Amino acid sequence: MTIIVTGGAGFIGSNFVFHMLNKYPDYRIVCLDCLTYAGNLSTLAPVMDNPNFRFVKESITDREAVYKLFEEEHPDMVVNFAAESHVDRSIENPEIFLDTNIKGTAVLMDACRKYGIKRYHQVSTDEVYGDLPLDRPDLFFTEETPIHTSSPYSSSKAAADLLVLAYHRTYGLPVSISRCSNNYGPYHFPEKLIPLMIANALNDKPLPVYGEGLNVRDWLYVEDHCRAIDLIIHKGRVGEVYNVGGHNEMKNIDIVKIICKELGKPESLITHVTDRKGHDMRYAIDPTKIHNELGWLPETKFEDGIKKTIKWYLDNKEWWETIISGEYQNYYEKMYANR
Ligand code: NAD
Ligand code: DAU
């Protein structure tokens, strides 16, 4: 079995590469990643010498490079993690999101059509459903919830999802889609809420909470997401969408307070800053389908997952300090100065 994993030098993709190489010693995993600001080759250092692993530095939008890779590897499956993934960056500059997230998905699926594939899996997001009101805790996203996006990022992911379903109906491509809630864990890029707050707290820097911090996200430990995708590509039905989430809704402000407590830092570091434009209020996944059909359940409780995550950032300072000392400085200043 040969699987092309795109975006495998990023947060969830790298965790998925590790999961697959550990669990399936006879699988070949080929990581296709063009190493944007969010991709780190150092993340993949532990598997670089594994004979079942190959890293290829190319973009999913480069048709020629993608076709060449298919000719070389004859993949059985493609799991597409590669994307521009940060909502705030999409608000600043939508264009690259359209190119990578929509065109890149089409190029990968064209290659699958041309060379044949057992499964094309699209890693999507709960953000395609828009948001839920805070005063209706009885409402959850199901796979039937209409697509109703808020940001350029989520719109580009929704467009990609629709293309994937269209390639299934029109060309009979054997596809599946997972729509997961917010992940956290090792190798999470420090522009995102949890790693940003950990890094800033460790450096005694202000903790910038957007607005009042009452927005709710449904947090899932990254390994639980990887297990869900593993199940879907092997046992999930072709042409289907599976929501992935662990009923772990938390307000942003509460997450930041937990991080302060775990690190022994004062809550006075918390600074309320201007809210995100079009900020989604609440995400909440109903995971009944993946539970009933594939027996998936999250295994890591948030209390344990956040401790493990904080410990990982304490033990791997070099990884994130290198990131935040480079180009990221300019990004941070632009995004947070005078906010
Ligand atoms: P990330 O930003 O950490 O990593 C993205 C990776 O894709 C990077 O390694 C980057 O170099 C690579 N990449 C970007 N453009 C590329 C291109 N044109 N060609 C090849 N590689 C390219 O992202 P993440 O948080 O790991 O998210 C991975 C996927 O999961 C995304 O599709 C995202 O939409 C989805 N998702 C993320 C979350 C989450 O909480 N982070 C939740 C649900 C779904
Ligand atoms: O729900 C899945 C999505 O989760 C994925 O599709 C995206 O790729 C991923 O980036 C994530 O999107 P969010 O916008 O929910 O994640 P982020 O970490 O950027 O923000 C989480 C919440 O924290 C959100 O309500 C905004 C808020 N926030 C974020 C940052 C970076 C702050 O209050 N301050 C911050 O500095």
Reported in sequence order, the residue ranges of 115-263 that DSSP labels E, i.e. its strands, are 119-125, 175-180, 183-184, 207-210, 216-218, 220-221, 240-244, 249-251
Ligand 2 neighbours, Cβ below 6 Å, are 85-87, 125-127, 181-182, 192-193, 196, 208-210, 215, 217, 252, 276, 283
Distance 264 CA to ligand 1 centre (A): 31
The bound ligand whose nearest atom lies closest to the alpha carbon of 271 is 2
Between CA 241 and CA 124 the distance in angstroms is 9
Domain locations in the chain?
Answer: 2-188+220-247+278-300
Residue type, 92: E
CATH number assigned to the domain with residue range 2-188+220-247+278-300, chosen from the 4 options 3.30.200.20, 3.90.1150.150, 3.40.50.720, 3.90.1150.10: 3.40.50.720
The predicted-structure confidence for 141-152, as pLDDT tens digits, reads as follows: 999 999 999 999
Opening angle at CA 193, ends 6 and 177, nearest 5: 35
141: which DSSP letter?
Answer: B
Q: Alpha-carbon distance 287 to 265, whole Å? A: 35
Residues 6+ apart with CB under 8 A from 323: 40, 189, 190
pLDDT in tens, 103-134: 999 999 999 999 999 999 999 999 999 999 99
pTM of the model: 0.98
User: 338 pLDDT band (50/70/90 cuts)?
Assistant: confident
DSSP assignment of 226-257 equals HHHHHHHHHHSPTTEEEEE--S-EEEHHHHHH
| Helical packing angle, 302-315 and 317-325, nearest 10° | 70
Residue nearest to atom 21 of ligand 1 (CA): 33
- The question of whether 92 is a catalytic residue gets the answer no
Instruction: State yes or no: pLDDT of 237 exceeds 90.
Output: yes
- Give the model's confidence band at 337: pLDDT under 50 very low, under 70 low, under 90 confident, else very high: confident
